């Protein structure tokens, strides 16, 4: 399985979010962090691939053009987590997740129950399952939203800022869950994020977007070089390694050209 | 110097003449709202808060009832088109009288009214036009030098009809004519009052007054205070809605009527044109057969048919606008006869109405103003 | 993923379901009881047993009682139930698709449109093709209500059916329509004005069994139709983007639901006049006791609406013996304090 993006344009004219994206093929089992400054088109890219916005060019998943998928095929293969948090309604997470499953699948009740059981365990949010969403924190709701995506076990995960509302514990926990999902089920995950260090820590590849286009799709250490950081974010930064050998980004000063 | 004296002489003569004329012409009275009215001279330009008062004015000025009217509301034409057509046939200029409003106080256009330079505004204590509660409008009119006078044939018709007519006679300097009407009215009313049995006696019939039949598909609107409810009271009838409905009118539960079974059913007719279903058609220009048809049509397929009063032929309909007219004495006589037929065999309300039209109206009596339902066989 | 583990959450949720089913059952029971109370109370003292026997076998009652039970009380009580159900269902669906707990058929001007239709029939004193005035008023009200919803749908479709667009169009439409109704009232003569006023007060007394049956059929059809979209509606409560990502055509869903809401509202209001608050309050009651799983929320709101309306119907005839208060006034009087209570509660708890 692979995801192949070429000559991809997303967003509307005249100022398309992404003009011409050509990437090497992304292999299954790969967790890709999509990083870049604000307004560079991360969310637009996610939405376009998820089928909520149009795109132009090629986006092939297993050699099938995403835009040609029927809605049913699309929700079987793609799981999209929007940046906006799920609403605080009087639904309980169990219903919240199961309704997503019912809408998209025609499986037996036993299978549905099992899938629900699995996802609540996977994300470690079993204790929340029967509490109304109104009583959950923003972060907890974000987890439930993620459960809604993961429960369908899609081939391609498109996660838009999945950790934005989470504390440290849950950030790691979610990333571990997503990473292990990509590894065990051989899926592909694209995760838009502002947190470079989290990306470095968990991702196999980093897709660095800059206002002038994609700068790199490469392993973290190769993508987040001082040169690229300067071009993408306009900062003087460097990659350091901690005592355990994990890389992390330190931004020193802002940088102005000229 | 001689010139000056002759000027002085002329001036004092003029002043004297003016003074004497104005004292002779000034009118003071108390209206039906208990307000003091002071008119410097007899009114010549009158605004009517209800054009249904035209017929009232005609009682005092049979030949030229429209002479002093400079503006009015549109209620006569809208609500009682039968009478309006009669007047229009005799006085085509009625259509040229400027309208100062539609059929409600809210539609009263003060500016339009003032442009007509009225010297008197005649309003009703309550009703469709501006009433005694519109204090701002009243003070505006008075500030503009237009005296406002209130009449009433509706809130307390039995007591206020005579007072209203006397007041109007005084204001319009038609006291003699007003007195003639009042004498006739009181005599006719007395014919009822003197022959009535005691109220509350064993034989007091219960009456259901079904107001404005057909106005709403729902059953059953009725009146309990003032208006036609007063007629039931004055003829010693027991209004079944009495003490049930707060205010002056309301909707009775049909089931209550079916369970309680009033002795007499009286409907009020608000239709004016034949075939105007679902209203009962009565009033000027309506033939007896048209009236009968409309009444029968109304009762057809109605649950009211289960009222014993209707089955047994104690069901009647009356022209709705008697409730706001000095001719209410006719309705009172009719009610008296319906409630106590044996006490009032001699009474001839149709003759009373005919006399009223003949002596006090510029238009002839031409129409049916009340009717009995045909007895429905079980 | 052992089967034992997989039973745990499902089992836990089952107690939830059982609870809600019980609530639904309780609500249904309350509706039935209220209906029976409604039909058994009135100035003519007919015992509840007699009424019940009379309903099963009309010959049990004497002719007058038969008329009272079958022709006076039954239509009134039935109409209350079906109109309440229609408004409750319409309100629930509307609040979901507009994602707004303050939405109701009246917020979007559908109620005002019905009033305009009725006013038009009253003022112009129309009688087409020999249809009697009695039926023409509801027909005209229905056509106008449908027209108003169609206009909203059209505008929303043209400019994008997002929530704000629909609500703003609706509010603009409501004010516009109210102005036109005002114009009609101005032009109306006193009798017509009275009729319009009575219409806006709402009354069940215009009911008869055939009208109630008609509304009941519409409620049944619309409810069955909404059953096919239960999961989509529940998922829509997660959020619009979430629903979109799950392949739900949200705009289309919104249009279909608004169409259904118009149909329900128009047919209910056509026969009883303006009755507010039921469409607003019933969904809140259902949400409080049943949550927002639409499998329970929709029938719950339908039943709450029916119950509220039935209670209002009882109250409207009990407040003054022998007298009928317009039921619209009663629902509003009962509804306002309740609604304020809900708002306060909502303010304390936060969230929708």
Please, which pLDDT band fits residue C3 given cuts at 50, 70 and 90?
Answer: very low
Cα–Cα distance for residue pair A131/A93, rounded to 1 Å = 7
| pLDDT reading at C28 higher than 70 | yes
C291 touches chain A (CB under 8 A): yes
Supply the mean pLDDT for chain B: 88
Name the token pair of C324: 């009928």
| pLDDT reading at A114 higher than 70 | yes
Cα–Cα distance for residue pair A252/A237, rounded to 1 Å = 5
Choose among A72, A89, A114: nearest Cβ to C292: A89
> Which residues contact residue B163 at a Cβ distance below 8 angstroms, ignoring those fewer than 6 apart?
B32, B152
- Look-up: residue for tokens 């939830």? C16
Nearest CA to B124 out of B181, B65, B52 is that of B52
Q: Are C320 and B246 in contact (CB < 8 Å)?
A: yes
Choose among C72, C133, C189: nearest Cβ to B255: C72
User: Is there a contact between A123 and A46 (Cβ–Cβ < 8 Å)?
Assistant: no
Chain A: residues touching C (Cβ < 8 Å): 50, 52, 71-72, 74-75, 79-92, 94-96, 99-100, 102-104, 110, 113-114, 116-118, 120-121, 126, 129-130, 132-134, 145, 148-149
Stated pTM of the model: 0.82
**What pLDDT is stored for residue C107 in this prediction?**
78
**What pLDDT is stored for residue C252 in this prediction?**
86
- How far away is chain C from the Cα of B126, in angstroms, using its nearest Cα? 13
Chain A residues touching residue C352 (CB < 8 angstroms): 87-90, 134
| pLDDT reading at C130 higher than 70 | no
Q: What is the pLDDT of residues B135-165, one digit of tens each?
A: 888 888 999 999 999 999 999 999 999 999 9
| pLDDT reading at B365 higher than 80 | yes
- Look-up: residue for tokens 């916005």? A53
Please, which pLDDT band fits residue A100 given cuts at 50, 70 and 90?
Answer: confident
B329 touches chain C (CB under 8 A): no
* Max Cα distance, chain C (Å): 77
- Look-up: residue for tokens 């007298």? C323
Question: Residue B177 phi/psi, 5° resolution?
Answer: -65, -45
For C295-321, give the secondary structure using H, E and C. HHHHHHHHHHHHHHHHHHHHHHHHCCC
Cα–Cα distance for residue pair A145/A164, rounded to 1 Å = 12
Share of chain B above pLDDT 70, in %: 90
| pLDDT reading at B366 higher than 90 | yes
| pLDDT reading at A104 higher than 90 | no
Q: Are C249 and A71 in contact (CB < 8 Å)?
A: yes
**Interstrand relation of B264-269 and B315-319 (parallel, antiparallel or unpaired):** parallel
Q: What chains are in contact with C, requiring at least 3 Cβ pairs below 8 Å?
A: A, B
| pLDDT reading at C18 higher than 90 | yes
Task: Give the pLDDT mean for B96-100.
Answer: 92
**What pLDDT is stored for residue B164 in this prediction?**
96
Choose among C245, C291, C349: nearest Cβ to A50: C245
For chain B, give the secondary structure using H, E and C. CHHHHHHHHHHHHHHHHHHHHHHHHCEEEECCCCCEEEECCCCCCEEECCHHHHHHHHHHCCCCCCCCEEEEECHHHHHCHHHHHHHHHHCHHHHHCCEEECCCHHHCCHHHHHHCCCCEEEEECCCCCCCCCCHHHHHHHHHCCCCEEEECCCCCHHHHHHHHHHHHHHHCCCHHHHHHHHHHHHHHHHHHHCCCCCCCCCCCCEEEEECCCCCCCCCCEEECCCHHHHHHHHCCCEECCCCCCCCCEEEECHHHHHHHCCCEEEEEECECCCCCCCCCECEECCCHHHHHHHHHHHHCCCHHHHCHHHHCCCEEEEEHHHHHCCCHHHHHHHHHHHHCCCCCCCCCHHHHHHHHHHHHCCCCCCEECEEECCCCCC
**What pLDDT is stored for residue B110 in this prediction?**
86
Cα–Cα distance for residue pair B59/B36, rounded to 1 Å = 24
| pLDDT reading at B22 higher than 60 | no
| pLDDT reading at B105 higher than 90 | no
Q: Are A87 and C239 in contact (CB < 8 Å)?
A: yes
Supply the mean pLDDT for chain C: 84
Residue scoring higher pLDDT (C4 or C333): C333
Cα–Cα distance for residue pair B96/B77, rounded to 1 Å = 13
Task: Give the pLDDT mean for C16-33.
Answer: 95
Choose among B107, B217, B303: nearest Cβ to C72: B303
User: Is there a contact between A82 and C238 (Cβ–Cβ < 8 Å)?
Assistant: no
Q: Are C324 and B277 in contact (CB < 8 Å)?
A: no
Give the distance from CA B55 to its chain's centroid: 9
Q: What is the pLDDT of residues B37-47, one digit of tens each?
A: 999 989 999 99
**What pLDDT is stored for residue C351 in this prediction?**
45
Q: What chains are in contact with B, requiring at least 3 Cβ pairs below 8 Å?
A: C
Q: Are C245 and A149 in contact (CB < 8 Å)?
A: yes
Cα–Cα distance for residue pair B105/B146, rounded to 1 Å = 17
Q: What is the pLDDT of residues A4-38, one digit of tens each?
A: 998 988 887 777 778 888 888 899 999 999 999 88
Task: Give the pLDDT mean for C170-194.
Answer: 82
**What pLDDT is stored for residue C8 in this prediction?**
82
25-84 in C: which are within 8 Å (CB) of B?
Answer: 42-45, 63-64, 67-68, 71-73
Task: Give the pLDDT mean for B215-238.
Answer: 87
Q: What chains are in contact with A, requiring at least 3 Cβ pairs below 8 Å?
A: C
CA closest to B246 among chain C residues = C320
Task: Give the pLDDT mean for C294-306.
Answer: 96
- Look-up: residue for tokens 């009225």? B118
CA closest to A150 among chain C residues = C246
Name the token pair of A83: 């940046």
Name the token pair of C212: 């109630």
Task: Give the pLDDT mean for B95-114.
Answer: 85
**What pLDDT is stored for residue B13 in this prediction?**
61
Q: Are A95 and C291 in contact (CB < 8 Å)?
A: yes
B3 touches chain C (CB under 8 A): no
**What pLDDT is stored for residue C347 in this prediction?**
67
**What pLDDT is stored for residue C145 in this prediction?**
85
Task: Give the pLDDT mean for B312-332.
Answer: 94
| pLDDT reading at C226 higher than 60 | yes
Return the minimum-mean-pLDDT range out of A168-172, B218-222, C77-81: B218-222
- How far away is chain C from the Cα of A183, in angstroms, using its nearest Cα? 18
- How far away is chain C from the Cα of B229, in angstroms, using its nearest Cα? 17
* DSSP per residue, C54-82: HHH-GGGS-HHHHIIIIIIIHHHHHHHHH
**What pLDDT is stored for residue B12 in this prediction?**
64
Give the ipTM of the model, two decimals please: 0.84
Share of chain C above pLDDT 90, in %: 27
Q: Are C10 and A100 in contact (CB < 8 Å)?
A: no
Choose among C293, C350, C352: nearest Cβ to A95: C293
């Amino acid at each position: 399985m692979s995801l192949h993006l070429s000559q991809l344009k997303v967003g509307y004219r005249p100022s398309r979010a992404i003009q011409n994206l050509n990437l090497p093929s992304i292999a299954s089992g790969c967790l890709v962090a999509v990083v870049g400054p604000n307004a560079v088109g991360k969310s637009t890219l996610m939405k376009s691939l998820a089928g909520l916005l149009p795109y132009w060019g090629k986006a092939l998943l297993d050699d099938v053009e995403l835009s040609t998928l029927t809605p049913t095929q699309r929700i079987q293969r793609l799981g999209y987590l929007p940046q906006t948090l799920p609403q605080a309604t009087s639904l309980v997470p169990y219903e919240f997740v199961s309704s997503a499953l019912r809408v998209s699948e025609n499986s037996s009740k036993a299978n549905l129950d099992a899938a629900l059981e699995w996802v609540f365990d996977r994300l470690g949010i079993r204790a929340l399952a029967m509490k109304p969403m109104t009583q959950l924190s923003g972060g907890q709701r974000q987890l439930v939203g993620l459960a809604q995506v993961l429960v369908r076990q899609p081939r391609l995960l498109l996660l838009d800022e999945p950790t934005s509302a989470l504390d440290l514990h849950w950030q790691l926990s979610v990333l571990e869950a997503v990473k292990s999902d990509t590894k065990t089920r051989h899926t592909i995950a694209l995760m838009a994020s502002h947190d470079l260090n989290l990306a470095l820590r968990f991702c196999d590849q980093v897709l660095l977007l800059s206002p002038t286009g994609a700068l790199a799709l490469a392993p973290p250490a190769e993508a987040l070089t001082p040169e690229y950081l300067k071009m993408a974010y306009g900062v003087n930064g460097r990659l350091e390694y901690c005592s355990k050998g994990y890389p992390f980004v330190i931004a020193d000063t802002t940088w102005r050209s000229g | 110097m001689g010139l000056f004296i002759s000027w002085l002489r002329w001036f004092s003569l003029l002043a004297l003449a003016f003074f004497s004329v104005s004292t002779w012409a000034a009118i003071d009275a108390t209206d039906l709202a208990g307000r003091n009215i002071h008119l410097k001279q007899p009114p010549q330009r009158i605004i009517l808060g209800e054009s249904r008062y035209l017929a009232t004015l005609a009682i005092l000025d049979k030949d030229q009832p429209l002479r002093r009217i400079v503006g009015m509301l549109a209620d006569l034409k809208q609500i009682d088109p039968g009478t309006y057509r009669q007047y229009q046939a005799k006085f085509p200029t009625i259509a040229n009288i400027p309208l100062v409003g539609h059929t409600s106080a809210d539609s009263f256009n003060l500016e339009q009214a003032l442009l007509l330079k009225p010297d008197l505004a005649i309003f009703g204590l309550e009703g469709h036009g501006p009433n005694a509660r519109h204090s701002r409008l009243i003070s505006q009119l008075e500030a503009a030098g237009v005296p406002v006078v209130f009449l009433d044939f509706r809130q307390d018709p039995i007591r206020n009809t005579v007072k209203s007519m006397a007041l109007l006679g005084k204001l319009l300097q038609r006291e003699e004519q007003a007195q003639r009407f009042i004498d006739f009215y009181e005599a006719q009313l007395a014919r009822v009052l003197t022959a009535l049995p005691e109220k509350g006696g064993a034989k007091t019939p219960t009456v259901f007054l079904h107001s404005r039949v057909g106005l709403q598909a729902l059953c059953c609107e009725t009146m309990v205070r003032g208006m036609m409810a007063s007629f039931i009271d004055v003829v010693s009838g027991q209004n079944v809605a009495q003490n049930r409905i707060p205010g002056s009118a309301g909707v009775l539960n049909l089931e209550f009527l079916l369970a309680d079974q009033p002795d007499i059913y009286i409907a009020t007719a608000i239709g004016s044109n034949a075939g105007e279903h679902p209203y009962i058609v009565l009033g000027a220009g309506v033939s007896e057969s048209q009236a009968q048809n409309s009444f029968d049509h109304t009762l057809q397929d109605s649950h009211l048919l289960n009222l014993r009063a209707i089955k047994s032929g104690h069901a009647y309909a009356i022209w709705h606008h008697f409730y706001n007219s000095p001719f209410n004495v006719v309705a009172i006589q009719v009610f008296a006869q319906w409630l106590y037929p044996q006490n009032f065999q001699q009474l001839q309300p149709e003759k009373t109405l005919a006399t009223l039209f003949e002596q006090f109206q510029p238009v002839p009596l031409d129409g049916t103003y009340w009717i009995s339902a045909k007895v429905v066989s079980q | 993923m052992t089967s034992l583990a997989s039973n745990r959450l499902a089992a836990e949720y089952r107690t939830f379901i059982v609870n809600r089913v019980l609530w639904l059952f309780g609500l249904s029971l309350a509706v039935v009881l209220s209906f029976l109370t409604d039909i058994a109370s009135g100035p003519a003292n007919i015992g509840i047993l007699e009424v019940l026997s009379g309903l099963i076998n009309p010959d049990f009652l004497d002719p007058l009682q038969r008329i009272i039970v079958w022709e006076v009380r039954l239509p009134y009580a039935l109409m209350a139930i079906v109109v309440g159900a229609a408004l409750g269902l319409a309100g629930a669906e509307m609040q979901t698709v507009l994602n707004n707990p303050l939405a109701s058929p009246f917020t979007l001007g559908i109620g005002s449109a019905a009033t305009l239709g009725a006013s038009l029939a009253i003022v112009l004193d129309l009688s087409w093709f020999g249809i009697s005035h009695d039926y023409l008023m509801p027909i005209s009200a229905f056509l106008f209500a449908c027209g108003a919803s169609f206009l909203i749908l059209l505008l929303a479709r043209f400019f994008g059916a997002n929530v704000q667009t629909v609500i703003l169009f609706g509010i603009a439409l409501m004010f516009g329509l109210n102005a036109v109704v005002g114009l009609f009232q101005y032009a109306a003569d006193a009798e017509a004005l009275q009729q319009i006023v009575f219409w806006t007060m709402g009354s069940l007394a215009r009911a008869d069994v055939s009208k109630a049956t008609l509304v009941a059929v519409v409620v049944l059809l619309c409810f069955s139709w909404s059953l096919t979209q239960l999961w989509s509606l529940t998922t829509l409560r997660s959020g619009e983007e979430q629903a979109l990502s799950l392949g739900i055509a949200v705009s289309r869903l919104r249009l279909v639901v608004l169409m259904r809401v118009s149909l329900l509202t128009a047919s209910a209001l056509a026969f009883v006049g303006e009755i507010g608050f039921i469409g607003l309050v019933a969904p809140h009651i259902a949400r409080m006791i049943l949550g927002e799983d639409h499998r329970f929320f929709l029938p719950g709101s339908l039943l709450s609406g029916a119950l509220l309306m039935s209670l209002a119907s009882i109250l409207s005839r009990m407040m003054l013996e022998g007298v009928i208060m317009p039921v619209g006034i009663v629902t509003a009087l009962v509804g306002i304090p309740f609604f304020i209570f809900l708002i306060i509660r909502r303010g304390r708890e936060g969230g929708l």
